[in-house]
Amino acid sequence: MSLLEARGISIAFGGLRALDQVGFAVDRGRVLAIIGPNGAGKTTLFNVVTGLYRAQAGEVRLDGREVTGLPPHALAARGLARTFQNLQIFFRMSALENVMVGRHLKERRRLWAELLGLPSVLRENRESREKARELLVFVGLEARAEEPASALPYGALKRLEIARALACEPSVLMLDEPAAGCNPVETEEIDRLILAIARRGVAVVLVEHDMKLVMRISDRVLVLDQGRVLAEGTPAEVRSDPRVVEAYLGRHGLEAARAA
Amino acid sequence: MSPGTRTKLVVLGALGLALVLVPFLLPSAFHLRVAALVWINATAALGLALLMGLAGQVSLGHAGFFGIGAYATALGPKHLGLDPLLSMLLGVAAAAGLALLVGRPILRLKGHYLAVATLGLGILVHLVLVSEVAITGGPDGVQVPRLVLFGWRVAGPEVWYAITGIVLLLAAWIALNLEDSSTGRALRALHDSEIAASVAGVDVARHKLVVFVIAAVYAATAGGLLALFNRFVTPDVAGFLRSIELVTMVVIGGMGSILGAVVGAALLTVLPQALTLFHDYEHAVLGLLIILFMVFLRQGIVPGLAGLLVRRRPA
């Protein structure tokens, strides 16, 4: 059984069928990429699996247990973390504090102790701060830990979101376009980061448009088109699948690809 | 020393210093009474600052909780023969209970909708206080018996100055502790992005409720203190204008700042007294000053001035 499994997910907005019987599975330490043209339903699938949307049909299982329709914070407690395509950063907080929020579930959070500022709370703050700092080192942002997040450049914020997601020590990490808007150098850094995360035993699911990145780091690739699964397989299989090439490049592209 | 501990020491030090210095600088009974009013208003504003500044949720009916604290303190002794202090504590518990009850449905709303819903809550409390004449004494208000602690009649401006000052110091200490905790970080997070906070594991609905209840407790405590200090309450303490005053204190002082709430409360309590020399124009001058503060120190007085200082400092 896979660590994260989605089966028969369907959802419609108004009359539009955004997802139709879509499923995937991913194991510990593996990278699954979800690709497809704009509007294929990639982010919608992400939002269903992470509890932001409620699917009309289908189920999601995490570590063997059904988690369909659980709210995001309950999913996080079961080990599912994610990042966002359009950044969701706590801009009023420092980079370090952003990651500390990610430690929320690992903190004991006893309100009375917190209101009285008991030593146990101060100790916990210190632990969270240290863990957060380690994660900033891991994503290469330790030098900017104390800066307000609003002062960080775009590429750094992408990595900050990853550090925050890792802070709850998830078993599954879902990355929505981690390299979108990044220059080639930044993309390469993110590329290395994702592989390092997978090596730690985390199952990584990512949506990405950068095909070079997808082909380099994925173990499996799921191709969506107009809300349906078009193909699924290893990067090499998917790349040579004529249906995929057609969906991406159209008929002419297919002919061009054959000619090449 | 962690940054949180440093902030705590600076803020509590500044507040403690102010508490000690005021009686030396302004030793008259009148000034001490005004100062005690400042500390009471600041306690209520502090709670609202946690709700608005930290968590980004607005309440336009906060005087309702203030009124519950004040009226419980007045009515407990009158109708049930209870001790005023016990009545006040029951009032604080009642305010917390009401906040818990209405908080869950209300806090699902955002922005303007939340503002209007809390506005309704405040108006409702005010309405009950005005119209239930048999119980509350109606618009004429009601007398509050003198507080007696173990045979000691609590009286005199110096004593009330000390009591209200110590309560404020405690309130500020608790607020600072909250800011520098897991819950405090979660509240600041949901202020910026509720989606990201919940994905990070924060139970957004629960945290909003927690801070709403805390803010209600602060307001009711302040209300109870005002009743004991003034020995008389009228429904005005729960009125709409009073709610707006509390919000103005928080905004003018600086939303995210504990010290800001105190400075805002001081300004809005002292200015009307000081502006009486403008006779008929005092409200106009007060309004003008508020506008000027907002135009020139948009983030509020304390964060605005702190920002100016940092910028002036040579790099």
Position B43 pLDDT exceeds 90? yes
Across the interface, which of A73, A84, A91 has its CB nearest the CB of B202? A73
Residues of A in contact with B185 (CB under 8 A): 93, 97, 100-101, 104
Dihedral sign computed on CA atoms, order A243, A249, A250, A255: negative
pLDDT at B230: 94
User: Would an 8 Å CB–CB cutoff place A168 in contact with chain B?
Assistant: yes
Is A196 an interface residue toward B (CB < 8 Å)?
A: no
Structure confidence by residue, pLDDT tens digits, A44-96: 999 999 999 999 999 999 999 999 989 999 999 999 999 998 899 999 999 99
pLDDT on residue B308: 80
Contact B183 A114 (CB under 8 A): yes
pLDDT tens column, B210-256: 999 999 999 999 999 999 999 999 999 999 999 999 999 999 998 87
Q: Which of B123, B121, B109 is nearest to B57 (CA)?
A: B109
**pLDDT 10s digits, B139-191:** 888 999 988 888 888 888 899 999 999 999 999 999 999 999 999 999 999 99
**Helix (H, G, I), strand (E, B), or coil: what is residue B217?**
helix
Cβ neighbour number for residue B120 with a 10 Å cutoff: 15
Cβ separation of B199 and A73 shorter than 8 Å? yes
Q: Which of A101, A117, A124 is closest, CB to CB, to B186?
A: A101
Whether chain A has a CB inside 8 Å of the CB on B186: the answer is yes
What residues of chain A lie within 8 A of the CB of B192, using their CB? Answer: 89-93
- Give the pLDDT confidence score for residue B301 in this predicted structure: 87
Highest mean pLDDT, choosing among A18-27, B91-100, B279-288: B91-100
**DSSP state letters, A203-236:** EEEEE-S-HHHHHHH-SEEEEEETTEEEEEE-HH
B203 touches chain A (CB under 8 A): yes
Contact residues on chain B for A103, CB-CB shorter than 8 A: 182
B7 touches chain A (CB under 8 A): no
A122 vs B contacts (CB less than 8 Å)? 2, 5
Candidates A88, A105, A123, partner chain B, best to mutate (most B CBs within 10 A): A88
* Interface touch B182/A116, C-beta < 8 Å: no
The distance of A108 to chain B (nearest Cα, Å) reads 8
Among residues B267, B260, B308, B310, the alpha carbon closest in space to that of B289 is found at: B267
User: Which residues, other chains included, contact A115 with Cβ-Cβ below 8 Å and sequence gap of 6+?
Assistant: B174, B177, B178
Residue span(s) of chain A under CATH 3.40.50.300 come to 1-28+41-72, 79-202
A·B CB contacts under 8 A = 111
**pTM recorded for the entire structure:** 0.92
CATH annotation of A1-28+41-72 = 3.40.50.300
The average pLDDT across A19-28 equals 93
Cβ contacts (< 8 Å) between A108 and chain B: which residues? Answer: 182
A chain contacts of residue B184, beta-carbon cutoff 8 Å: 114
CATH topology of domain A79-202: Rossmann fold (3.40.50)
The ipTM (two decimal places) reads 0.89
Decide if pLDDT at B197 tops 80: yes
Q: Which residue has the higher pLDDT, B230 or B300?
A: B230
Residues of A in contact with B255 (CB under 8 A): none
Long-range contacts of A123-132 (CB under 8 A, 24+ apart): A124/B182, A125/B2, A125/B4, A125/B180, A125/B181, A125/B182, A126/B2, A128/A100, A128/A103, A128/B182, A129/A96, A129/A100, A129/B2, A131/A103, A131/A106, A131/A167, A132/A96, A132/A97, A132/A99, A132/A100, A132/A102, A132/A103, A132/A163, A132/A167
Q: Are A114 and B184 an interchain contact pair (Cβ–Cβ within 8 Å)?
A: yes
Contact B182 A50 (CB under 8 A): no
Integer CA distances (angstroms), A125 to A96, A130, A135, A139, in order: 12, 9, 15, 21
pLDDT digits (tens, 9 = 90+) for A106-162: 998 899 999 999 999 999 999 999 999 999 999 999 999 999 999 999 889 999 999
The single-letter DSSP state of residue A146 is T
Amino acid A254: pLDDT: 58
SS percent in chain B: helix, strand, coil, step 5: 80, 5, 15
More confidently predicted of A67 and B285: A67
Is B303 part of the contact surface with chain A (CB cutoff 8 Å)?
Answer: no
**Per-residue pLDDT for B295 more than 90?**
no
- Residue to mutate among B199, B210, B213, with most A CBs inside 10 A, is B199
Q: Among candidates B253, B221, B258, B4, which has minimal Cα distance to B95? A: B221
Model confidence band, residue A253 (pLDDT cutoffs 50, 70, 90): low
Any B CB within 8 A of A89 CB: yes
Task: Select from A43, A100, A115 the residue whose CB has the most chain B CBs within 10 Å, as the one to mutate to test that interface.
Answer: A115
Query: Stretch B254-264: mean pLDDT, rounded?
Result: 90
Task: Flag if B178 and A114 touch (Cβ within 8 Å).
Answer: yes
For residue B53, what pLDDT is reported?
Answer: 92
Binary contact (A102, B200; C-beta < 8 A) = yes
Domain chopping of chain B, boundaries: 3-238
Phi, psi at A153, each rounded to 5° = -75, 165
Closest-CA residue in chain B for A166?
B200
Whether A147 has its CB under 8 Å from any CB of chain B: the answer is no
